Amino acid sequence: MTDFTRTHMKEAPSWWANAVVYQIYPRSFQDTNGDGMGDLPGITQRLPYLADLGVDVIWLSPVYKSPQDDNGYDISDYQDIDPMFGTLEDMDELLAEAHSLGMKVVMDLVVNHTSDEHNWFEKSKQNDPAYADWYMWADPKPGHEGGTEGAEPNAWGSYFGGSAWEWVPERGQYYFHQFSKKQPDLNWQNEDMRRAVYAMMNWWMDRGVDGFRMDVISLISKRYDDEGRLPGVPNSQLPMREAGPDGYVNPFADCSDGPRLDEFLQEMHHAVFDGRDGYLTVGEAPGISADRAAEVTALAPAAPQSRELDMLFLFDHVDINTYGPGGKWGVVEQPFKDVRPCLKKYESIVEKGGWTSLFFCNHDQPRSVSRWGDDSTDALRIRSAKALALVLHLHKGTPYIYQGEELGMTNADYTRLEQYEDLESINMYHQLVGAGVLTAEQMLAGIQRVGRDNARTPMQWDDTRYAGFEAADAECAPWLEVNANKAFVNAAAQVNDPESVHAFYKKLIALRHTSELVALGDWSVLDESDSSVYAYVRSRGDERLLVLANMSGAPAAVPAEAAALLGGGSESGVGEVVVANDPADDVRAQLSAGTLQAWTAAAVLL
């Protein structure tokens, strides 16, 4: 395979074409002061581990000052660090040390909403003329007294349960919040508010941050009628959609990918990123189609004024089979074969001139090895974790690793509701169980399967009492219980083990850094109807790399199109096994026999 360096990537869209990003959830990564919460000095302490792994970019979930109603995604001061995590000086030290080790740092940025304790909201609530319209305010329904049942401007419900409208007596109006009532939505129609956001972003970029991951950025532009009225309010030209079993209308369809989204993102790019180099912008984009993603992420060299974001997170693959009566909480099977068409859509973004993010895990999603792999035994956990890693990292795009994914960390082993901290899980438990949509047992099973705390358990560094997240004799236990499988799933046991999940990730990262075929090659899927084996080809010039994986717990035949490329018949015709979760000789034997064993995954140079 052709070796190359970033400086010679003339055909690459940017430096991130062969980069790998590592997401850190700071409160669960490393605690250095024994208060049970991870902190910035802890991240700085672990930077050599990340540099050795080979990642290029670190993405930090929010560390801004916050009341922590939604674990930091409710920001009360964009230009300060929450004392839980440290200080601005700690952040400066982290940035300097990461840069010295050759890694960039991207901060999570939440600008769809703030905390209700943000100074902007406090002034808006008091009707300060300079801030009065910075949030989405609306009058009570005519003929109703504000704050009473049925007086809300329309029937929109929050994604976290209950009404999406909160009454403020001192202002005499309701404010809109898609998420928690402590997370009021900003009014992106207001130009002064937007300028304040851009000024804050420039402040961080000038301080040394290398870009932003933008939380729910696709929700900033709402749909209004010609007179500026939201759906369902008096005299609106926009009708309300159908209410769900809880009696509320989900506002998502009228908030996602709204009519001014492109305008706002282009304006942001011009105000913050024009003239800068080496940055990364990635948007969390629920509700964005693959075709729209190609438009949003297009480099558009002939029209630089249309630049928006470098890449997006799309959620088709993590949302499959989640729309029953209980939504995502109604536990149904989510076989990996249902993920494959979603990955094909993401690859179409690149084909159309955009770029795509590749991920299975993040702070809002369950652990991939528990969701699509097999964590019933340690051997199967290791095999399936490697298989998932291989099929994801050999796609075209920018791979993201969520902390602990490189160790094969699993879902939380909790059995009681009291063990969970996630606001969404707890609120929806009471709402759906209270409404009779799901039983208590069904809802707990749903939280165990897809709840956000599955990804938030403390990082498992070693097998000590608190998994090395903090000292074993710390007075405060970690904010969230450590998974008991820390005894055998931990970094200390894997970093020097050449057969570990960790070692396998290092191989995949190194391959993306050194293989032009992996970083830039075209992508095409094979044998799409096969129920067990996922197969695709990467090609560049005369080089072709066949990737195939049996994503099931039983032996499976090598499907026809893949078998034809392999030539069939003999091990000598198989080609070079570039990377696999079985020894190369075993892989050749399996392929020549036409059968892949359970969870066998390999990339073969044809």
Q: Rounded to the nearest 5°, which phi and psi values hold at 341?
A: -60, -30
Look up 128 and say whether it is catalytic: no
- What span, in angstroms and rounded, lies between the C-alpha atoms of 417 and 492? 31
Look up 215 and say whether it is catalytic: yes
DSSP 313: E
Query: How many CA atoms lie less than 13 Å away from 66 in the CB half-sphere?
Result: 24
Do residues 409 and 483 lie in contact, with contact meaning Cβ atoms separated by under 8 Å?
yes
Would you put residue 180 in left (φ > 0), alpha (ψ -120 to 50) or beta? beta
**Sign of the Cα pseudo-torsion (225, 231, 237, 241, in order):** positive
Catalytic residue among 284, 364, 375, 453: 284
Tell me the C-alpha to C-alpha distance, in Å, between residue 428 and each of 96, 178, 354. Answer: 41, 14, 36
- What span, in angstroms and rounded, lies between the C-alpha atoms of 167 and 165? 7
DSSP 419: G
Tokens of 494: 């894997």
Pairing of strands 211-214, 280-284: parallel
Residue 524 pairs with which residues in a beta bridge? 537
Tell me the C-alpha to C-alpha distance, in Å, between residue 321 and each of 66, 317, 325, 374, 528. Answer: 34, 9, 11, 19, 19
Pairing of strands 21-24, 211-214: unpaired
Q: Any residues with CB less than 8 A from the CB of 545 and at least 6 apart, and which?
A: 1, 394, 517, 518, 521, 537, 538, 539, 578, 603, 604, 605, 606
Question: 3-state class of 386 per DSSP?
Answer: helix
Which alpha helices (DSSP H) does 477-594 contain, by range? 491-494, 501-514, 516-520, 560-566, 584-593
Catalytic residue among 215, 516, 527, 582: 215
Tokens of 263: 């305008």
Pairing of strands 601-605, 543-550: antiparallel
Which alpha helices (DSSP H) does 134-256 contain, by range? 191-207, 252-255
Pairing of strands 311-313, 280-284: parallel
346-377 b/e (C-beta count within 10 Å ≥ 16 → b): bbbbbeeebbbbbbbbbbbbbbbbbbbbbbee
In terms of Cβ atoms closer than 10 Å to its own Cβ (0-12, 13-18, 19+), residue 427 is middle
Q: Rounded to the nearest 5°, which phi and psi values hold at 57?
A: -135, 140
Q: Any residues with CB less than 8 A from the CB of 517 and at least 6 apart, and which?
A: 1, 2, 538, 539, 540, 543, 545
Catalytic positions: 215, 284
